[in-house]
Structure 1
Amino acid sequence: MTDTASLSTDVAIIGAGPAGLFAAFECAMLKLGCVLIDALDEIGGQCTALYPEKPIYDIPAHPAIAGGDLIAALDRQIAPFDIPRLLGRRVEELSGTRGAFTLRTSTGDTIRAHAVIIAAGAGAFGPNRPPLEGLEAFEKSGAVRYYVRRRADFAGKHVLIAGGGDSAVDWALSLRDVAGRVSIVHRRNRFRAAPESLRQMDEAVERGEIEKLVGYQLHGLHGNDGVLDGVDLITLDGEVLHVPCQALLPFFGLATDLGPIAQWGLDTVRGTIPVTPSTCESSMPGIFAVGDVASYPGKLKLILQGFSECAMAAHAIHPIVHPDTALHFEYSTSRGVPAA
């Protein structure tokens, strides 16, 4: 749905990433009408925008599934319900109280809903960019990238990956079979990735599949007209190492911003929304948060935990929409998928 809309629904879901899509499914299974709203032009959130080809290993029943394939599967799951989507716009205003909210978007849509689920992930996000002279020209040409959308773009190239977290290590492992050469640079020999990923990287380094450069930081870029031919690294003592390469992938994390959500009167803590763990309801009655944006003691930022939160939120919303109807929990195997 792309035209300006004015609609009424049971639940307005802000965010169409994995948590938002599964929240729509859980609501639909309880026969709650809903609409998906997202600032991006396509569904999937970070899975689509940042790592559509990157394998995810902790989705139940999937030993490995690419981010894009996960989104496609979630999309197929909600297809029978024909849920409206307002994409390419963000919710600028939210007013009202539990049972009667009004949302207005950046393109002039008006949505009235009994409850709201915020599944906004990390909010608006962008990369932390390294302070390197001439960086912009190489960004425009694609020689410096902060996301990998197609591994094939790096076929045969010497790729230098900078960073010490999961993204850096995971992409070094993923690109070693595609790129001509993969090097990973980090300021210290202590990486902050998952233990199994670190084990695989160490084995790949021993086999010569990945070159590990530790004790260095990015220092300078070499090339002309956006064509990268090398990167200078530097130690704390000022020793410079030149690494010939055709692509640089700096993974220094994301700068995130809740945007207008932070102005709606919700309690927030370091860019997240604290919720009651059993219901995922925020400090404002009738507004719920699920996925990475939700926080509570013991919270794990895993997609699978976000899925569980979606189910809890949908069940907590049912009495708001249907206060006079008791909800008798049934397994999906016994009730099937209700008619849209």
Structure 2
Amino acid sequence: MVDQTLHHTDACVIGGGPVGLFTVFQCGMVRIKCHVVDVLDALGGQCAALYPEKPIYDIPAHPSILAGDLIGQLEQQAAPFNPVYHLSQQVVGLTRQDNGRWLVETDKGTQIDCAVVIIAAGAGAFGPNRPPLDGLAHYEGKSVFYFVKSREAFRGKRVVIAGGGDSAVDWAVSLSEVAASVAVIHRRPKFRCAPESAARLQDLASQGKIDLVVPYQLSALEGDTASGQLNTVRVADLDGGLRDLPADILLPFFGLATSLGPISSWGLGMDKSHITIDQGTSATNVEGIFAAGDVCTYPGKLKLILTGFAEAAQAAHHAYPFVYKGEHLHFEHSTSIGVPA
């Protein structure tokens, strides 16, 4: 549905991942209202789309928290400030208006008039690298999935996983506990993952709980194309020998294709595929545009969620003069002011 409404707000946050959500909270704490745009159909970025059930261990005060739970708590934290979310759309235009404010436009026709723009787009818009298989589209979203949102959805299923990285190995280990069978296809015997994960995979294979199909690669899919239900995944070895694997589900984990898209053409200072910012303010080289999280860089930058949280706080506080011109922001701790109405 095309949204032809012109929205007016203080800040437009580009990116609805963990850093984008925390940006909303930090902006709210200094009375900056936010609209958020994200290309995905749900909030949370890669935490929600790729590994909602995987634990994160480096969030302060949480010895361990599932990625999906982290996103839920960040949404709850931002909720008092009534952010407006524009999901399933990509920002395609950014124009400086005569009054000095910005006009943000999306591919769905949404227009957002704002004083500042805060880019928290992570690695940019992302999507899976799809295997070159005939008829693949018939099965996508029905029995071929690129992300796992809930392992319970695969309970009792015959699961085939293709890939040799962390995602492939971690999900093979996890799904072996609930699936009827798990087969892992990889082009070589050595896996590109954490050593302890590789050891666990080999241990489960030796127990017969995982079938390691190596060295093989995907060759073809068979099933009911009308319903999108797989029944066989055909693989080929390096000599062209074929093998059929019974399958209800195929999970191809061949990495992500990421792109900043139109953001890279906005005249921002760039270091390869990252936006350069001032570490003390999170400001870009363009006045009124800030960046936080994995999308930005500076000397000594650490790509951690907690680093992005700090950058979000810097962006919110230094965005204040653009929203409230002529006013001085008096810094106060949250323990003193609570959550402003």
- TM bin (shorter chain): 0.7 to 0.9
Q: How do 1:207-226 and structure 2 match up within 5 A?
A: 207-225=207-225, 226=228
User: Paired residue for 2:315?
Assistant: 313
Name the SS of the counterpart of 2:31 in structure 1.
coil
User: Paired residue for 2:10?
Assistant: 10
Q: How much has 1:304 moved relative to structure 2?
A: 2.8
User: Paired residue for 1:106?
Assistant: 107
Q: How much has 1:250 moved relative to structure 2?
A: 0.5
Deviations 1:271-296, CA, capped at 9 Å, x for gaps? 43233333332232221222232233
- In 1, the alpha carbon distance for the partners of 2:165 and 2:143 equals 21
1:265 aligned onto 2:264: no
Moved more, 93-102 or 160-169: 93-102
User: Paired residue for 1:135?
Assistant: 136
- In 2, the alpha carbon distance for the partners of 1:116 and 1:177 equals 45
CA distance 1:138–1:34, change in 2 (3 Å)? closer
- In 1, the alpha carbon distance for the partners of 2:144 and 2:188 equals 22
| Percentage of pairs with the same residue | 52
Q: How much has 1:228 moved relative to structure 2?
A: 2.4
Name the SS of the counterpart of 2:118 in structure 1.
strand
Name the SS of the counterpart of 2:238 in structure 1.
coil
Q: How much has 1:23 moved relative to structure 2?
A: 0.5
Deviations 1:170-215, CA, capped at 9 Å, x for gaps? 2112212211122222222333334454454344444443333333
Given candidates 232, 248, 263, the residue that maps to 2:234 is: 232
Moved more, 266-275 or 23-32: 266-275
- In 2, the alpha carbon distance for the partners of 1:60 and 1:198 equals 28
Deviations 1:133-166, CA, capped at 9 Å, x for gaps? 33232326x2221112332221112211111222
Given candidates 286, 289, 292, the residue that maps to 2:291 is: 289
CA distance 1:28–1:179, change in 2 (3 Å)? same
Q: How much has 1:33 moved relative to structure 2?
A: 2.4
Deviations 1:240-289, CA, capped at 9 Å, x for gaps? 44333222111111122323323322244554323333333223222122
Q: What runs of 5+ residues in structure 2 fail to find an aligned partner?
A: none
- In 2, the alpha carbon distance for the partners of 1:267 and 1:318 equals 22
Q: How do 1:72-87 and structure 2 match up within 5 A?
A: 72-87=72-87
User: Paired residue for 1:338?
Assistant: 340
User: Paired residue for 1:26?
Assistant: 26
Name the SS of the counterpart of 1:93 in structure 2.
strand
- In 2, the alpha carbon distance for the partners of 1:88 and 1:55 equals 26
> Is the CA contact 2:33–2:81 (under 8 Å) kept in the aligned structure 1?
no
1:164 aligned onto 2:169: no
- Size of the aligned set, in residue pairs, is 337
User: Paired residue for 2:244?
Assistant: 242
CA distance 1:182–1:101, change in 2 (3 Å)? same
Name the SS of the counterpart of 2:115 in structure 1.
strand
CA distance 1:259–1:238, change in 2 (3 Å)? same
RMSD: 2.8
Q: How much has 1:130 moved relative to structure 2?
A: 0.8
> Is the CA contact 2:47–2:67 (under 8 Å) kept in the aligned structure 1?
yes
- In 2, the alpha carbon distance for the partners of 1:99 and 1:334 equals 34
- In 1, the alpha carbon distance for the partners of 2:193 and 2:300 equals 20
- In 1, the alpha carbon distance for the partners of 2:82 and 2:233 equals 50
> Is the CA contact 1:124–1:258 (under 8 Å) kept in the aligned structure 2?
yes
Name the SS of the counterpart of 2:10 in structure 1.
strand
Q: How much has 1:99 moved relative to structure 2?
A: 5.7
> Is the CA contact 1:99–1:320 (under 8 Å) kept in the aligned structure 2?
no
> Is the CA contact 1:120–1:293 (under 8 Å) kept in the aligned structure 2?
yes
CA distance 1:186–1:41, change in 2 (3 Å)? closer
- In 1, the alpha carbon distance for the partners of 2:6 and 2:14 equals 16
User: Paired residue for 1:149?
Assistant: 149
- Normalized against structure 2, the TM-score is what? 0.85
CA distance 1:42–1:177, change in 2 (3 Å)? same
- In 2, the alpha carbon distance for the partners of 1:328 and 1:194 equals 46
User: Paired residue for 2:123?
Assistant: 122
- In 1, the alpha carbon distance for the partners of 2:188 and 2:301 equals 29
Q: How much has 1:338 moved relative to structure 2?
A: 2.1
Name the SS of the counterpart of 1:292 in structure 2.
coil
